Amino acid sequence: MQEGLRVLFVEDEPLVRQATAQSLELAGFSVLALPSAEAAMPHLAADFPGVLVTDVRLSGASGLDLLHHCRNAAPGVPVILVTGHGDITMAVQAMREGAYDFIEKPFGADRLTDTVRRALERRALELENRALRRELAGPAGSTRIIGRSPAIEQVRALVANVAPTDVPVMINGETGTGKELVARSLHALSTRHDGPFIALNCGAVPEAIFESEMFGHEAGAFTGAGKRRIGKLEHASGGTLFLDEIESMPLALQVKLLRVLQEGMLERLGSNTSIPIDVRIVAAAKGDMEALVAQGAFRQDLYYRLNVVTIPLPPLRERREDIVSLFEHFMLVAAVRYQRPVPLLAEAQRQALMQRPWPGNVRELRNAADRLVLGVPEGGAAAAAADDGMPLKERMERYERALIADTLARTGGAVSQAADLLQVGKATLYEKIKRYGL
Ligand SMILES: Nc1ncnc2c1ncn2[C@@H]1O[C@H](COP(=O)(O)OP(=O)(O)OP(=O)(O)O)[C@@H](O)[C@H]1O
Ligand SMILES: [Mg+2]
pLDDT at 324: 92
pLDDT at 383: 45
Nearest CA to ligand 1 atom 7: 178
> What's the CATH code, domain 388-438?
1.10.10
Give the nearest ligand 1 atom to 174 CA.
Answer: 25
CA–centroid distance, 229 to ligand 2, in Å, is: 25
Distance CA(217)–CA(234), nearest Å, equals 11
Contact yes or no for 247/291 (Cβ under 8 A)? no
CA–centroid distance, 158 to ligand 2, in Å, is: 19
**Does 363 contact ligand 1 (Cβ within 6 A)?**
yes
Give the nearest ligand 1 atom to 286 CA.
Answer: 25
CA–centroid distance, 291 to ligand 2, in Å, is: 21
Ligand nearest to the CA of 180: 1
Ligand nearest to the CA of 132: 1
**Does 146 contact ligand 1 (Cβ within 6 A)?**
yes
pLDDT in tens, 269-294: 988 899 999 999 999 999 899 999 99
pLDDT at 164: 93
> What's the CATH code, domain 147-314?
3.40.50.300
Strand partners, 197: 240
**Does 17 contact ligand 1 (Cβ within 6 A)?**
no
**Does 315 contact ligand 1 (Cβ within 6 A)?**
no
Distance CA(193)–CA(186), nearest Å, equals 9
Distance CA(258)–CA(246), nearest Å, equals 13
Question: Which of 154, 172, 181 for mutating ligand 1's site (highest number of atoms within 8 Å of CB)?
Answer: 181
Question: Which of 132, 136, 149, 180 for mutating ligand 1's site (highest number of atoms within 8 Å of CB)?
Answer: 180
Ligand nearest to the CA of 153: 1
CA–centroid distance, 286 to ligand 1, in Å, is: 13
CA–centroid distance, 253 to ligand 2, in Å, is: 21
> What's the CATH code, domain 6-137?
3.40.50.2300
**Which of 200, 250, 254 has its CA nearest to residue 230?**
200
pLDDT at 361: 96
Give the residue range(s) of CATH 3.40.50.300 domains in the chain. Answer: 147-314
**Does 366 contact ligand 1 (Cβ within 6 A)?**
yes
pLDDT in tens, 372-387: 988 876 654 344 444 5
Ligand nearest to the CA of 182: 1
pLDDT at 381: 39
**Does 364 contact ligand 1 (Cβ within 6 A)?**
no
Distance CA(143)–CA(137), nearest Å, equals 12
Give the residue range(s) of CATH 3.40.50.2300 domains in the chain. Answer: 6-137
**Does 177 contact ligand 1 (Cβ within 6 A)?**
yes
The residue ranges of the chain whose pLDDT is under 70 are 1-3, 135-142, 377-390
